Amino acid sequence: MLRDAAREPGREALRARLVAALTLATLAWPLIQGPRYDSFPWSSFPMFAHGRADAITRVDQLLAVSADKSRRPVPPRLVANDEVLQAASTLHTAIRRGRKASAALCRQVAARVAADPDWADVVRLELVTVKFDALQYFAGDHSPLGKPRVRARCRVPRK
């Protein structure tokens, strides 16, 4: 009996060492997978660590056009809500669904613009896709590459 009791602490210590070794091996496994491997708990953030083949990016925008022909982007809160990515997704989805969906979204937002006194100078909206050189954009050159592709236009209803 005493021998069995004396062996138990040794078995518990061995079990604890095995669990610790397996845990460490599991945590270290991603480190030996190469630079493109991406997993918890270690990440090389491969989506940021490698250059893109093309710095040209397309941005869907809803532009407010004033009577003097000046343009400014419609804020996300008038497109969908305060979330920028949700507003961008709303624009992209409408464009992907075609002309009818783009025109319908344009009219919905135009009604919101008409109800907002801060946008009283706006006469129409344009849903466009614009190309930018992303590297130049973040270096300070915000000019688009070429003319925007107009997906939908609608008037802002005024009383």
pTM of the model: 0.66
Q: Which of 59, 40, 38 is nearest to 49 (CA)?
A: 38
Which tens digit of pLDDT belongs to each residue from 142-152?
899 999 999 99
Rounded distance between C-alpha atoms, residue 149 and residue 95, angstroms:
11
Rounded distance between C-alpha atoms, residue 84 and residue 89, angstroms:
9
Peptide bond connecting 46 to the previous residue in cis, omega within 30 degrees of 0 = no
Question: For each of the chain's 159 residues, which pLDDT tens digit applies?
Answer: 555 555 577 888 999 999 999 999 887 776 777 666 666 666 666 666 666 667 899 999 999 999 999 999 999 999 999 999 999 999 999 999 999 999 999 999 999 999 999 999 999 999 999 999 988 999 999 899 999 999 999 999 987
Contact 119, 125 (CB under 8 A): no
Rounded distance between C-alpha atoms, residue 141 and residue 120, angstroms:
30
